[in-house]
Chain A
Amino acid sequence: MPLCILPWQSLCETHLRRVLDALDVGSSFRADLIRCIMLTALRGSDHGHQQFDMNINLNLATAEEVEMEDISIGGYESDPDQVARGVSRSTIEKLEQKSCSVQDGSGCCCICLEELNGEDKVMEIPCSHLFHSRCIVKWLERIDSCPLCRTRVEVEVPE
């Protein structure tokens, strides 16, 4: 199912119906299957997931004998709580220790679009890009790459 249609329940149902039509399964089985898939999907979105992959393996034996083998959900792409796409707490703490202040006119924080000025705590991440500490930490908790150059943020563990 194209990820982009997931927010539209009716589109998902239409899409599923179209796919299942091609399989020539019975209409009552088809309805059951659609209901089952939509429920699984809704359960996913109840947990706040906006996108997820659902792998459905159907074994079609004969036109009458259809077996639904496996419905599983995996890879909650946009949910930072489910998949560790953010950087670890210890890495964030390490970066926080090194955060400092910079001179006025050192540029602008691309996250809040405000100037970096002398009073702000500023963090430099390994790719050398600068942000307000408060801004970049919020992002790194979700995603482990630089907002500007997408370089992965890794900090060596100190001995």
Chain B
Amino acid sequence: MIDFGRVQKELQECSKDFEASGIKVSPKADNLARLIGTIPGPIGTPYEGGTFQIDITLPDAYPFQPPKMQFATKVWHPNISSQSGAICLDILKDQWSPALTLKTALLSIQALLSAPEPDDPQDAVVAQQYLKDYQTFVGTARYWTETFAKTSALGVEEKVQRLVEMGFLESLVRTTLDAVGGDENLALEKLCSA
């Protein structure tokens, strides 16, 4: 059974120091087991200026088991899958401790953005590029930040929510929005004609 009392406390703590950390966590639905985290791209990295959203799912035994976290925003990084958003980070696996929180986990992910570990890659293609052609890596990572993590890409959650409220399946809404580059009207058209 998830300790929802603790989750509530975490959410309060997190919103209290949002000004300082820039890290946000908000529930996706009303059951608190699925949340969305937001981290700003670290300054001085190719992710600077971007806002990255992370899907969070709490396992039943939270906080005795680590939260499941995965990038919802596409990101070009050796330790994050460019396709699925899966994150390779020890504290989300066997190095988890209940003394960590959603906020500290998100801070660790932000630190991972600043300090990639290409020797322990999640995405082999990105890691190869990082090691062999760093300049191109920086260019691609910056391009992905511009394309997927800038303000225009924000508001996706609101679009998703509006379309889901119209009765479409969330997974379908997301893939359709993705396919039309985030254009809500085009997505609606596609969804209706499907």
A residues neighboring B (CB under 8 Å): 2-5, 7-8, 11, 51, 77-78, 110-114, 135, 138-139, 142, 147-148, 150
Contacts and interface: CB of A to CB of B under 8 A. Distances in A.
Nearest to B70: A7
B88 interface: yes
A110 B6 contact: no
A113 B64 contact: no
Given A4-B87, A5-B86, A113 B9 contact: yes
Nearest to A18: B124
Interface of B: 3, 5-6, 9-10, 13, 63-65, 81, 83-84, 86-88, 93-94, 97-99, 101, 121-122
Given A51-B93, A147-B97, A112 B3 contact: yes
Contacts of B9: 113-114
A4 B88 CA distance: 6
Contacts, number: 56
For the complex of A and B, 10 pairs with smallest distance between CB atoms:
A147-B99, A4-B88, A110-B99, A147-B97, A111-B98, A113-B9, A147-B98, A148-B99, A4-B86, A4-B122
B64 A138 contact: yes
A24 to B, nearest CB: 19
Given A51-B93, A147-B97, A150-B97, A8 B84 contact: yes
